[in-house]
Structure 1
Amino acid sequence: MASDAAPATIGFIGLGMMGLPMARCLLAKGFSLVACDSAEAARAALAEDAPEGRLAFAPSPSGVAELCNLTLLMLPNSDIVAQVAEGEGGLLPALREGSVVVDMGSSIPAETRRLAQVAAARGASLIDAPVSGSVIKARAGTLAIMIGGDDAAFAAAEAAMRAMGEKIIRTGPVGSAHAMKALNNYVYAAGLLAATEALQMADKLGLDLKVFTDVLNASSGRNVATETKLRQEIISGRYAGGFQLGLMRKDLETAGAIAAETGIDAEALALCRRIWEAALGELGPKADNTELHRFLERDRLRP
């Protein structure tokens, strides 16, 4: 059940692949929600088996803000966050003084800081709390959640965050969590790319790929891709790691925006962005990120 520190009702905007199980997790932990999503199917999915009297829907983001002192956003990108926050029927103009908005998607840090300033001008707070983990972890409430923002805003959101997350990491001021999430996912993308290319070379040499994976995981080449993707998704041919190519590309573009903001000539990042963009162009945004292996095989077979 929700702790005494939890607000009576939490706003939740964005019932997509991750947002829906996160919202369900909050309901299962005893929270009440006012939810908002443009998709009727998503609203119906959340309403199914929802505890009686603890779920309501608002027709617009402003309707959520009028009813809730804490609102969580789980939206695809900064452009959609800005539309929800500042567009017609938007969240920010309707915020109560002292209310807190938590952007839990993967947004561009500079845009997060800008929206936080807009919220502050209304006497409210906007903080960032992107998540790491699969849909399975969202369902189980075992996500890793990075949180950027001040102590007061964190205190207002903490009970809800702990209901959805197993590991809570405070990263610093607002925008820092979105920056760290994007940079983390760049490192993951680079690791998966390197592991996939190494696997292809091992295959051409006739090596036992499962044994090669064991060697990587017992040695300095170990990373999350070698531990959770090579044997399970690529060698098996399953290609169902649970993270779409389109989302991977979005995180790499956010990392690129950080490189531009900081003036860092990130050559490895540029290479990753080019390869992932090409893979997305051939396989489509909904392909699993482990299908990079298929793309590289096909790409190298071309004359």
Structure 2
Amino acid sequence: MNRATDPPPRLGYIGLGTMGAPMARRLLDWPGGLVVCDSRPAATADFAAAGATVADTPAEVAAAASIISVTVLDDAQVDEVITGADGILRTARPGTVVAVHSTIADSTAVDLAQRCRAHDVELVDAPVSGGVPGAKQGRLAVLVGGTDTAFAAVDAPLRRWADLVVHTGPVGSGTRMKLARNLVHFVAFTAATEAARLAEESGLDLRKLGEVVRHSDAVTGGPGAILWRDSTAPLTPGDPWLPIMAHVRDLGAKDLALALRLGERLGVELPLAQLSSRHLAAGLGLAVTGTTDIERNTA
């Protein structure tokens, strides 16, 4: 919507899978109406019963809707939905905005945006974070890469199913932020499996360990708690972050050293802990010269 007096646009949603369906459900009462499309007729049945229009192809969606969300599996499917023989670009009117919520390559998003632009259509890469629970609860984070105009157009519909909408910059930046965010996610998962091996060899209840981790992360913010700086550059004297990060480093030095000693005693390999012992200080922006505190503690 460009002006307060404009009627609300009609929305389209393509891809009603595990993520897409709960996201699209929150658009059923959108005042401009909703058009949905999925390759599986069973996926659209509930939407039709709730009053949504069902389209057989993405081209039919684009003929009716001016803001279209796409939640399909991968780069190839996104490309087919947008540029295929029955794709969005076959019928999309100038000014249409396509929001791709699938996690694809940033280069794919940039390329598709260029191809859309040739049709006077705007594309934003808008991947989401929060998984199926976030989709069902309407509590996803959505990371939007695109022009200011395109972001303004999609902002209100996205807020129907996301409680955090971030404009990350130009097309491609949404995907890059999603990949950085998921780097934290899956490296942390790998660290959790390493911790589980150490706990298991120590005779501990893994479910209780999980309970403790989830509880403390909810309180402290987990790994994201240190992601408040504007830069990864080394900290300098007088920077207010210096004492905070030094405190984190010192705690990490002590606790990693103790965990590594325990792992050595139990015969448990802890490769991520070893990497952390070498890289934590520098990652926190603290200059490292010679032997680090952690290496001294584990010697």
TM-score, L = length of structure 2 = 0.67
**Equivalent pair of 1:73/1:105 in contact (CA under 8 Å):** yes
Q: Helix, strand or coil for the counterpart of 2:165? A: strand
CA 1:198/1:6 → structure 2, altered by over 3 Å: closer, same or farther?
Answer: farther
Read off the aligned partner of 2:67 and give its amino acid letter: L
Task: Report SS of the residue matched to 1:26.
Answer: coil
Map 1:57-72 to 2 at 5 A.
Answer: 57-72=54-69
Q: Does 1 or 2 have the higher relative contact order (CA < 8 Å, sep 6+)?
A: 1
Identity of aligned residues (%): 39
* 1:156 equivalent among 150, 153, 157: 153
Show the counterpart of 1:13: 14
Contact 1:103 1:127 in 2 (8 A): yes
Cα distance in 2, alignment partners of residues 88 and 47 from structure 1: 25
Aligned to 1:95: 92
Structure 1: gaps (5+ residues)? 225-267, 269-303
- 5+ unaligned residues in a row in structure 2: which ranges? 225-271, 273-299
Shift of 1:114: 0.3
Runs of 4+ residues over 6 Å off in structure 1? 3-6
Judged with a 3 Å threshold, the aligned counterparts in structure 2 of structure 1 residues 27 and 212 are, in CA distance, closer, same or farther, namely closer
Question: Given residue 214 of structure 1, which amino acid in structure 2 is its aligned partner?
Answer: V
Counterpart code for 1:72? S
- Which of 142, 153, 158 in structure 2 is aligned with 1:145? 142
Which residue does the alignment assign to 1:133? Answer: 130
Deviation at 1:141, TM superposition (A): 1.7
**SS of the residue 2:191 aligns to:** helix
Q: Secondary structure at the match of 2:183?
A: helix
Whether the aligned pair in 2 keeps the contact of 1:25 and 1:138 (CA below 8 Å) is: no
Give SS of 2:16's match.
coil
Classify 1:212/1:57 alpha carbon distance in 2 versus 1 (closer, same or farther; 3 Å). closer
Contact 2:102 2:127 in 1 (8 A): yes
SS of equivalent residue, structure 2 residue 53: strand
SS of corresponding position for 2:28? helix
Q: Tell me which amino acid in the other structure corresponds to 1:22.
A: M
2:193 — aligned with what?
196
Cα displacement string for residues 235-272 of structure 1 (whole angstroms, at most 9, x for unaligned residues): xxxxxxxxxxxxxxxxxxxxxxxxxxxxxxxxx9xxxx
Kindly indicate whether the alpha-carbon contact (under 8 Å) linking 1:141 and 1:164 is maintained by their aligned counterparts in 2: yes
Q: Is the 8 A contact 2:58 2:82 kept in 1?
A: yes
Q: Tell me which moved more, 130-139 or 75-84.
A: 130-139
Secondary structure at the residue paired with 2:45?
helix
Q: Which amino acid aligns with 2:22?
A: P
Instruction: Give the Cα–Cα distance (whole angstroms) in 2 for the partners of residues 134 and 216 of structure 1.
Output: 16
Amino acid at match of 1:159: A
Q: Choose which of 212, 215, 218 in structure 2 pairs with 1:214.
A: 212
Separation (CA, whole Å) in 1 of partners of 2:157 and 2:19:
15
Secondary structure of residue in 1 paired with 2:190: helix
| Counterpart AA for 2:184 | V
CA distance in 2, matches of 1:60, 1:94: 11
Aligned to 1:80: 77
CA spacing shift, 1:208–1:63, aligned 2, 3 Å: closer
**RMSD (Å), alpha carbons:** 2.5
Amino acid at match of 1:123: D
CA distance in 2 between counterparts of 1:83 and 1:211 reads 45
TM-superposed CA distance for 1:217, in Å, is: 6.0
1:26 matched residue in structure 2: 27
C-alpha distance in 1 between matches for 2:15 and 2:202: 47
Residue in structure 2 matched with residue 235 of structure 1 by the alignment: none
Which residues in structure 2 correspond to 1:105-184 (within 5 Å)? 105-184=102-181
1:135 Cα deviation from its structure 2 partner: 2.2
